[in-house]
Structure 1
Amino acid sequence: MQTLAAGNNFGRASGFTLLELLIVLALIGITTAGVGWSVRDTADSALDRDAQRLASLLEVARAQARANGSPAVWRSQNQNEVHGFVFEGLPAHRLPRFWLSDSTRTASDSIILLGPEPLIGPQTVALSNTMRPDRQVWVVTDGLSAFRVQHSSQRGRP
């Protein structure tokens, strides 16, 4: 004999209500959208990442040129479907030669002198992205301080 005592689910179906399911689905959707936006690689972040990497590579090449006592040159390559750069005057195959992003380009065929002297003179290279050609980032040095990334068009100022 069945009774209606407390804790007895007599007459009630077990499971989730439609409202509970809709709330869970909405939370999953919001979480998925948030993760998607945070993981997405934009053209701006790719350009910034390549600029930071180039600044670091230029500092490494500058230190190697000073240590070897020989001049070194960084030269961009923008011809024949090859978009990258080369370090001349340093041991071959020690430093990377290509951008992290296939859409990163230099504004023109740029050349940067890297040493062997501690003072190299002001150097600037402008980077852009084929997906956002209206935005440029500069990798600059005044010749004494380290290379740094600059987002403003006033390339001579820190």
Structure 2
Amino acid sequence: MIQDLLVRPRRDAGFTLLELLVVLLILGVAAGAVVLGLPDPRAGALEREAVRLAAQLEAARSAARATGQTRHWRPTASGYTWEPSMAADAQHWLEPDTQVQVLEPAGADRLVLGPEPILPPQRLRLTLGDLRADIASDGLRPFARVAAPPTAPP
């Protein structure tokens, strides 16, 4: 018995290579899960742009009703313009790569916000890279962020 203790090889303190590799694998999988779980910052930026523009359109629509004067909103290459222009009107995007397209009324290049209580339905699509956000009003309800309509399969 004493002989077995003397012959048995002494194990050095520490971890084996296999144990270290298993720990690194677990850490790598955990880090990957965290990175994939983080939201895309562009999605938040596009959502802010959509909410901001919807609020501006609704404020302009309210101002048109209060003053009896029609307001026009038109997209430009670097932002958008208001006609007639007012000092408090924002005219640029918070994210410079934001693009916009007027979807309704079909073929229109601008939105008309008149003093009438009911307007024709109007819809815009904001895009930032491959992300998109729609803003719409049915003519009676306020402008708001809405789900994009489904696209037809090719």
Query: TM-score category by the smaller chain?
Result: 0.5 to 0.7
Contact residue 46 and residue 101 of structure 1 kept, 8 A:
no
* Matches of 2:110 and 2:55, distance apart in 1: 16
Which among 142, 148, 153 is matched to residue 146 of structure 1? 142
What is the Cα deviation at residue 57 of structure 1?
Answer: 3.0
Contact residue 47 and residue 137 of structure 1 kept, 8 A:
no
What is the Cα deviation at residue 99 of structure 1?
Answer: 5.2
- Letter aligned with residue 112 of structure 2: L
SS of equivalent residue, structure 2 residue 14 = coil
- Aligned equivalent of 2:14: 15
Gaps of 5+ in 2: 1-9
- Aligned equivalent of 1:95: 90
- Larger-gyration structure (1/2): 2
What is the Cα deviation at residue 56 of structure 1?
Answer: 3.2
What is the Cα deviation at residue 76 of structure 1?
Answer: 0.5
Contact residue 99 and residue 126 of structure 2 kept, 8 A:
yes
- The structure carrying a bigger helix percent of its residues is 2
- Aligned equivalent of 1:8: none
- Count of aligned pairs: 136
Gaps of 5+ in 1: 1-10
Q: Say if 1:118 and 1:14 are closer, same or farther in 2 by CA, change over 3 A.
A: farther
- The structure carrying a bigger strand percent of its residues is 1
- Aligned equivalent of 2:7: none
